[in-house]
């Protein structure tokens, strides 16, 4: 059936084991949409990595590039990005080696943001003025999940307030959407004073998932998961799911493609190479058509 899905035979779509993938997809289709949940990363997974050859911003970058941040602070954030992002995606270093460095990056950036006295009421305008773009086909993706009442968990190491505003402005913050992320903590006059809860960075999503058992308990009848990510750290986002039956992992390989291709193929069931679209819609369409035929 995978061969019949036009989007899955594009040159940018890679699968290490199509037979295994086919089995997972069949099993998810047989179980029906009410046993499915979708867990997705945000930055560079739901949003575009590049547009017309230019890099698109992450939720942190939306703030970095904005008028809310002083020029000195912008320069510092850029320095940090140039130092730590290459480490994040370095395929020659282990995750264990990267862990303390990621904590260091996120902590420094959050402290810088706190110094900037960002006001809550400025976020709407900042997102509106930013160049953040959701991937092509995002409307259909959110629409399918909403219509079929499939819970969508957006699990992001970005900034929760910013990403929520992005999807709100895009008109897709439907009631089936839940977000785990780094949320800002504002004082009584609406000025950023801290970040709430445990820090989520790109390689501790497993811990984040295990801290949020309540969410997974609420949807415990959903034993099948479709997971979308762009980092190898995103693979642990479903670690809080109880009695997991099938997991279909879709990975966006945006950067350092040749160096990282094999590791992505080894870990994700479907790898989308430098692809700016939400081709996962074709799989949701399959699940939906199958369900509609039966009922
Ligand atoms: P995600 O979990 O939604 O993908 O968000 C994590 C991404 O955010 C990760 O790929 C690195 C990026 N990032 C920035 O762009 N700027 C920053 O200052 C920090 C701390 C992270
Ligand atoms: Mg990401």
Question: In a mutational test of the pocket of ligand 1, which residue from 41, 42, 43, 112 has the highest number of ligand atoms less than 8 Å from its CB?
Answer: 43
Give the position of tokens 């890099």: 55
The residue ranges of the chain whose pLDDT is under 70 are: none
Sequence spans of domains, the chain: 2-46+134-294, 58-129
pLDDT of residue 291: 80
Global pTM value: 0.97
> Which residues contact ligand 1 via a Cβ below 6 A?
41-44, 58, 60-61, 77, 81, 88, 105-106, 109, 156-158, 202, 231
Of all helices (H) and strands (E), which one includes residue 169?
helix 160-169
How far does the centroid of ligand 1 lie from the alpha carbon of residue 22, in Å? 32
Active site residues: 41, 43
pLDDT of residue 39: 98
For 46, 87, 113, 156, 174, the CA distances from 81, given in Å and listed in that order, are: 20, 10, 14, 17, 32
How is domain 2-46+134-294 classified at the architecture level of CATH?
3-Layer(aba) Sandwich (3.40)
Choose which CATH entry (3.40.50.2300, 3.30.1360.200, 1.10.150.340, 1.10.3430.10) describes domain 58-129. 1.10.150.340
**Phi, psi (degrees; rounded to nearest 5) at 87:** -70, -45
């Amino acid at each position: 059936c995978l061969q019949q899905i036009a989007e899955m035979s594009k040159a940018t779509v890679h699968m290490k084991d199509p037979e295994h993938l086919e089995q997972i997809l069949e099993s998810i289709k047989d179980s029906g949409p009410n046993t499915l949940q979708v867990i997705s990363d945000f930055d560079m997974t739901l949003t575009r990595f590049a547009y017309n050859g230019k890099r698109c911003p992450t939720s942190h970058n939306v703030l970095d590039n904005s008028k809310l941040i002083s020029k000195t602070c912008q320069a510092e954030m850029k320095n940090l990005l140039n130092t730590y992002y290459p480490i994040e995606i370095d395929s020659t270093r282990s995750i264990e080696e990267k862990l303390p460095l990621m904590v260091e990056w996120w902590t420094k950036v959050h402290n810088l943001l706190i110094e900037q006295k960002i006001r809550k009421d400025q976020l709407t305008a900042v997102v509106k003025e930013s160049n953040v773009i959701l991937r092509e086909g995002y409307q259909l993706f959110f629409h399918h999940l909403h219509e079929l009442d499939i819970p969508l968990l957006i699990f992001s190491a970005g900034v929760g307030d910013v990403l929520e505003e992005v999807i709100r402005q895009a008109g897709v913050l439907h009631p089936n959407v839940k977000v785990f992320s780094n949320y800002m903590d504002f004082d009584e006059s609406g000025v950023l004073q801290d970040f709430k809860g445990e820090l989520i960075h790109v390689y501790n999503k497993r811990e984040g998932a295990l801290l949020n058992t309540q969410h997974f308990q609420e949807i415990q009848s959903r034993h099948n998961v479709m997971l979308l990510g762009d980092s190898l750290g995103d693979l642990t986002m479903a670690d809080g799911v109880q009695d997991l039956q099938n997991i279909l992992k879709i990975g966006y390989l945006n950067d350092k493609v040749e160096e990282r291709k094999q590791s992505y193929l080894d870990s994700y069931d479907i790898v989308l190479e430098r692809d700016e679209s939400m081709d996962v819609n074709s799989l949701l369409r399959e699940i939906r058509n199958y369900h509609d035929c039966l009922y």
